[in-house]
A and B are shown apart, each in its own frame.
Chain A
Amino acid sequence: MKILVCAKQVPDTSGKVAVNDDGTLNRASMPVITNPDDLNAVEAALKLKDAYGCRVIVVTMGPAAAESMLRELLAMGADEAYLISDRAFGGSDTFATSQVLAAGLHHIGIDPDDIVICGRQAIDGDTAQVGPQIAEKLDLPQITYAGELTVEGRTVRVQRMLEDGYMTIETDTPCLVTCVKELNEPRYMSIRGILRCFDKPVTVLTYEDLKDEPLIDASTIGLKGSPTNIAKSFTPPLKGAGVMLTGVDDSAVVADLTDRLSAKHIL
């Protein structure tokens, strides 16, 4: 059994977000982090490793600089890493991204007792689409929003979190699971992990390496192969100064407040 984890290096949107004049994100000026949900995915894999001794392989698609994230995941305890990186893959939307990642996973090889784990969604796009789309392209059963995960033999049992409760779902390996932050608390790197992570293998997969994969078709990858395009990107108007609400009496003021909050979908 091995666990394949898909992870992404993202700009840290929790701090100050820099926007260029043309409305696009100024990525260069923002610190990068490992996507938070993906850390939960890595933790889930490492827990299975702790319990069953399986290998944990992390896979990312991104620029060469994403290797630093892979080293960090190796320092947490993953065994091996793949960096899928090529200009030909740049500008991919979720469909094209999942196409490339699925090809990469297929290239690495998915055995009957393997599990692919992804984070629920990445904080830069917040789409939650890449996981299910990889599953579709690899023809794997998927279970998303995992809030609890147990594996016994080839049976994978998951609590899929819903807005109003959860479903307990079972499937067999090979399968794909996406996890939410409630699943676990990701461990840190360890000192020893850091000292050893530079000896672990990081393999770079380029278009050349993957071009013979059945899923790789020049018409379905990269910016040109993406079914969706960005027609416009823009910043919302700046938050104005606060308003002091006044009215004939307290009830009127509160009614005004409720209307304003409802209009902004805050309630």
Chain B
Amino acid sequence: MLDKKHQMIQQLTREFAVNEIEPCIDYAEEHGEFPDELWEKAARYGFMGCCIPEEYGGQGGDFFSSIIMMEQICRTAVGAASMFMANSLSGMPILKCGTEEQKQKYLRPVAEGKKRCAFALTEPGAGSDTGALSTTARQDGDHFILNGRKTFITLGPTCDWAVVFANVIRDDGKKALTAFIVEADTPGFSRGKREKKLGLHASGTCDLIFDDVRVPKENILGTVGGGWRVAGSGLSAGRINVSSQALGGAQGCLDEAVKYAGERVQFGKPIAKFQNTRFKIAEMDAKIEAGRRLIYSAAQMVDRGEDALLQASRAKYYMSEVANEVAYKCLQIHGGYGYMEGFAIERFYRDLRIMPVYEGTSEVQLMVISSAIMK
């Protein structure tokens, strides 16, 4: 299924995750971020811009490479996924819709791992229903003045700039959804407090607040009114990316359960010898492998330039549901220990709960799938 190149990316990422990321997990869980040294190291090896072209500071890999990579990272730490967002949510819209100047100025440093870029679409009153977005942009000469609040923003606490979606109010009063690249040091830009979450403690999340933030018109990503196109440009990639997070996390759970079952002795033998354990693990393995094939096929469709929206939704729906089932059952195999901090399964269980939620809930994916196959 994987050619030699993808096998090597898998191997490299696995080694990097186990040797470099894993020792930082406790720190990251406590501080809400992985340490800067890890960011620098990951950047040096090219993880940040895996599938960004070389002319924009990336490595020039295909999208599938970034999916293989993300799977292996999340197999160790789901909370580390946001470090590599340049390959999906934050990098793709600039790559697809940005001008040459924007790509050099805002994509290159992110792909090189020198700067961090957030993706700010969701608002307190608008999730998947983007029609309800209330952040506004008022034109003032060569500038637009942004007002509003974005919520649940991954990388929010540390981003250097963000792709922000706001409605430009035209003279006739009509709203035109538009994407802007907003630098975090612009006056009026502020961040909310770090959110306390069920999981993903290793990844910072907060609100971004815009209070008369003046953004030059060169920073419009795409066109005025082209916000939908920008948001949609990374949609499939983003969903496949999240699917691979769920895939890696599920595999990580299964790894832990297999290991634990071999060590835990009850009634005189390792619980791995009991058929109940064996069948449970086999069943999970089959489901994970099915999800993996689905995700890989979706990623390869993206690389072939095909419309992957439906396949991405299938992958996202299936894998995020399976990942939670796997986390639940693997924790069960751990018994009481699985409920205690210090066992990786406890962390996986919490972290994976976000998978059917972000980047479009499972219900949204079902909407996409059903409307594609039913009139």
Direct contact of A and B (CB under 8 A): yes
Q: Does B4 contact A (CB under 8 A)?
A: yes
Identify which of residues 34-73 in chain B touch chain A, using a CB-to-CB cut-off of 8 Å: 44-47, 50, 54, 59-61, 65, 69
Kindly identify which residue among A68, A192, A197 contacts B46, using a CB–CB cutoff of 8 Å: A192
Among A189, A193, A194, A195, find the residue whose CB has the most chain B CB atoms closer than 10 A: A194
With a CB–CB cut-off of 8 A, which chain B residues contact A194?
5, 8-9, 12
Which of A71, A72, A191 is B59 in contact with, Cβ under 8 Å? A191
C-alpha gap A143/B270 in the complex (Å): 50
Closest Cβ of chain B to A88, distance in Å, is 28
Which of A68, A189, A198 interacts with B12 by CB under 8 Å?
Answer: A189
The residue of chain A having its C-beta at the shortest distance from the C-beta of B49 within the complex is A191
Minimal beta-carbon separation of A185 from chain B (angstroms)? 10
> Interface of B with A (CB < 8 Å)?
4-5, 8-9, 11-12, 15-16, 44-47, 50, 54, 59-61, 65, 69
Q: Report Cα–Cα, A194/B44, bound state, in Å.
A: 14
A52 within 8 A of B: no
- In the complex formed, the residue of B with least CB distance to A189 is B12
Closest residue of B by beta carbon distance from A196: B60
Q: List 14 A-B contacts (CB under 8 A).
A: A188-B12, A188-B15, A188-B16, A189-B8, A189-B11, A190-B45, A190-B59, A191-B45, A191-B47, A191-B61, A191-B65, A192-B46, A194-B8, A194-B12
Cβ of A75 < 8 Å from any Cβ of B?
yes
Are the C-beta atoms of A188 and B45 separated by less than 8 Å? yes
Query: A189-B11, A191-B50, A197-B8 are known contacts; what are 10 more A-B pairs with Cβ within 8 Å?
Result: A71-B8, A72-B8, A75-B8, A188-B15, A190-B44, A190-B46, A190-B59, A192-B54, A195-B65, A198-B5
A163-194 interface bits toward B, Cβ cutoff 8 Å, 1 = contact, 0 = none: 00000000000000000000000001111111
What separation, in Å, do the CA atoms of A190 and B45 have in the docked complex? 5
| Closest beta carbon of chain B to A192's beta carbon, Å | 4
Q: How far is the CB of A39 from chain B (nearest CB, A)?
A: 11
Contacting pair A71 B16 (CB below 8 A): no
Q: Using a Cβ–Cβ cut-off of 8 Å, how many residues does chain A contribute to the interface with B?
A: 14
Residues in chain A within 8 A of chain B (CB atoms) = 68, 71-72, 75, 188-195, 197-198
Are A195 and B5 interface neighbours, CB within 8 A? Answer: yes
Are B46 and A191 touching (Cβ within 8 A)?
yes
Cβ B60 vs Cβ A192 within 8 A: yes
- Please indicate the chain B residues that have their CB under 8 angstroms from the CB of A197 in the complex: 8
Contacts of A72 in B (CB 8 A): 8, 11
Number of cross-chain contacts by CB at 8 Å: 47
Q: Give, as a whole number of angstroms, the nearest-CB distance from B110 to chain A.
A: 15
When chains A and B are docked, how far (Å) is the Cα of A192 from the Cα of B60? 7
Is A71 within 8 A of B12, CB to CB? no
Closest partner residue, chain A, to B20 (CB atom): A188
Residues of chain B within 8 A (CB-CB) of A193 are 46
- CB-CB under 8 A from B5, the residues of chain A are 194-195, 198
Distance A192 CA – B53 CA, assembled complex (angstroms)? 11
Q: Which residues of A contact B11 (CB under 8 A)?
A: 72, 189
Cα separation A14 to B65 with both chains bound (whole Å):
29
B12 touches A192 (CB 8 A): no
| A71 to B6 CA separation, bound complex (whole angstroms) | 13
Report B111 CB to chain A, min CB distance, Å. Answer: 11
Say whether, besides A188-B15, A188-B16, A195 and B4 are in contact (CB < 8 Å).
Answer: no
Most buried by B among A71, A72, A191, A197: A191
* B8 partner residues in chain A, CB cutoff 8 A: 71-72, 75, 189, 194, 197
Bound CA span A150–B172, Å: 73
The 8 Å CB contact of A68, one of B4, B50, B61, B69, is B4
The closest CB in chain A to the CB of B5 belongs to A194
CB distance from A70 to the nearest CB of B (A): 12
A195→B45 contact, CB < 8 A:
no
Find out whether the CB atom of B59 lies under 8 angstroms from the CB atom of A192.
yes
Closest 9 CB pairs of A and B: A191-B46, A191-B59, A192-B59, A194-B8, A190-B45, A189-B12, A190-B46, A192-B46, A191-B50
Q: Which of B45, B60, B65 has the most CB of A within 10 A?
A: B45
- Tell whether A195 pairs with B16 under 8 Å between CB atoms, given A72-B8, A189-B8, A190-B46: no
A193 to B12, CA, bound (A): 11
Q: Give the Cβ gap from A202 to chain B, nearest Cβ, in Å.
A: 12
- Given the complex, which residues of A lie within 8 Å of B12, measured CB to CB? 75, 188-191, 194
- Cα-based distance from A126 to B12 in the complex (angstroms): 26
- List, in ascending order, chain B residues with CB within 8 A of A75's CB: 8, 12
**Closest B-chain residue to A197, C-beta based?**
B8
CA distance A68 to B54 in the complex (A): 25
Q: Smallest distance from the beta carbon of A198 to chain B beta carbons, Å?
A: 7
CB distance from A37 to the nearest CB of B (A): 17
**Which residues does chain B contribute within 8 Å of A191, judged by CB atoms?**
9, 12, 45-47, 50, 59, 61, 65, 69
Q: Given contacts A71-B4, A189-B8, are A195 and B15 in contact (CB under 8 A)?
A: no
Question: B45: nearest residue on chain A (CB-CB)?
Answer: A190
Q: What residues on B are CB-neighbors of A195 within 8 Å?
A: 5, 59-61, 65
Please indicate the chain A residues that have their CB under 8 angstroms from the CB of B60 in the complex. 192, 195
Of all chain A residues, which has the CB nearest B9?
Answer: A194
Expressed in whole angstroms, the Cα–Cα distance for A198 and B3 within the complex equals: 12
Complex Cα distance, B262 from A46, in Å, reads: 41
Least distance between B41 CB and chain A CB atoms (Å): 9
Cα of A194 to Cα of B243 in the assembled complex, Å:
24
